[in-house]
Amino acid sequence: MKLLHTSDWHIGRTFHGHSSVAALSSVLDALVETVRAEAVDAVLLAGDVFDSAVPAAEHYTLLTRTLEAIRGAGAEVVLTSGNHDSPARLGFQAGLLRTSGVHVLTDPERYTEPVVLRGADGFELGVYGIPYLEPALYRHRHPEESLRRHEEVLAFAMRRVRAHAEAAGRRWVVLSHCFAVGAPAGTVERDITAGGIDYVSVDHFAAADYAALGHIHGRATLLPNVRYSGAPLHYSFGEASKPRGGWLVELGSSGLGEVAWSPLPVPRRLSVIEGPLDRLLSDPSLAEFEGDWVSAVLTDEVRPLDAMARLQSRFPGCATLEHRPPHVPGERREYAERVRGRSDVEVVDDFLAHVRGGHGATEVERALVLDALAAVDAEAMR
C-alpha cells in the first residue's frame, strides 16, 4: 500500500500581507498529480489544514476542490486537526464525508477508532488520527490522569492508540500534530518560554509502523518510521532553504518498506538582497530576483525616501524592507512601522531580527511561538 504524507497546508495564511491562496492552489494541484502518477492509495494530512479557526469561504472552496481531486485521482484521504484548526468546523459533516472516502478525524475522544484501509490483495492498515490536544482543555475530560503538559497528553493518547492497534493485530499508522524531539521520554523537560509549550518525545511514536507528524514546517526524519513532511508552501523567508514536498510511504504485511521524498514545485522563490538602494535598483546581476518574493536589506547611511515603492518598481514581490546602515547594528525603524500589517508571528520574527542583528526566528522558535499563540487563543475561547 502506498501513502502520501503531507501536513500544514495552512489554507488562508497570508505572506507579509499577500494572499497565498493562488500559489497554494497550484502546489496542491501538483500534489494531486503526484497521487495520480504514483498510484497513491491514501493521502495522510497531519493537521493545520487551515490557518484560522474561522476560515473564509474561498478557503473552504480550495479544500473541497482539492479533496475532490485527490479522490478523483484514486486515493482516499485521512486528515486530522492541528493547533490552527477548529476541530468542530473542520469535522463538520465528517460522517457524510467518510462515505465518500474522506476521513476527518477531529473528535478528541474517538482517536482510538481507526480508519481501516484495505488493499486489493486483502492487506488491511489501521490509520489513527490524534487531533491537536490542548492540555488546558483536554485534561478535564480525564480528571483521573495528570495531563497538564503536551508530553503527558500525547503519552496518554499514544498508550490508548497502541493498545487498540496491538489488540486489532493490524499494521498501523498514526497521524499527530505535535512538536516531537528525538529524546527519551524521561528526559523531556517543560519548555520555559512564554506559553509553557512542551516538547514531546519521539519515543511515543516508535512502535507505530509509521508516524505521520505535522506542525514543523520543514521536512525531518526523527526515526526511519517517524517523520515530518513540512508545509507544501514557503510561509516565511526563514523557510526559503527548506525543500517542499511530501513523503511517499510503502507499507505492507511485512511492515514499513521504502520511504521516498516527493518534491513539490515552488511557485515563487524567496530571496534576500542587500546593499545600497541605488545599487539594488540598477545592478544587472540582480535581474534574476525580479520575479521572486524579496526581502531587501538597505545599507545606506540614511534611510532613502520611498524605498519600498522604488524597490517594488523593479521587484514587484518585495515584501519586507530592513534598513541596516553599516555603522548601526540592526535596524532603526519606528515600532509602529515595524508592526504595521504584520501577523503576530511576523511581529515576533521582526523583534528577534531587531535584537539579534538581523537573525529572525529559527524554525524551532517559530513553532514555539505558534504553540504559545495557540495556547493564548485556546484560553480566550474557554
Pairing of strands 226-228, 220-223: antiparallel
pLDDT for the residue numbered 355:
65
> Which of 211, 245, 263 represents a domain boundary (last residue)?
263
Are 73 and 24 within one domain? yes
**Domain match, 34 and 181 both:** yes
The mean pLDDT value for 160-168 works out to 97
Cα–Cα distances in angstroms (integers) from residue 348 to residues 18, 178, 278, 358, in the given order: 18, 21, 30, 13
142 and 26: one domain? yes
**In CATH, what number is assigned to the domain containing residue 84?**
3.60.21.10
Q: What is the pLDDT of residue 196?
A: 36
Give the pLDDT band (50/70/90) at residue 157.
Answer: very high
CB 173 within 8 A of CB 128: yes
**What is the predicted pLDDT for the residue at 382?**
60
Residue 72, judged by CB atoms within 10 A of its CB (0-12, 13-18, 19+), counts as exposed
Q: For residue 187, is pLDDT > 50? A: no
pLDDT tens figures, 4-62: 999 999 999 999 999 999 999 999 999 999 999 999 999 999 999 999 999 999 999 99
**Which has more pLDDT, 17 or 380?**
17
| Distance in angstroms (rounded) separating the CA atoms of residues 376 and 24 | 28
Q: Is a pLDDT exceeding 80 seen at residue 234?
A: yes
pLDDT bracket for residue 195 (50, 70, 90): very low
pLDDT tens figures, 284-332: 999 999 999 999 999 999 889 999 999 999 999 999 999 998 864 444 5
List, for residues 356-377, the tens digit of each pLDDT value.
656 778 888 888 888 788 778 7
Q: Answer whether residue 104 shows pLDDT above 50.
A: yes
Domain range spanning residue 220? 2-263
Percent of the chain topping pLDDT 70: 89
Q: How many domains does the chain have?
A: 2
Domain match, 145 and 228 both? yes
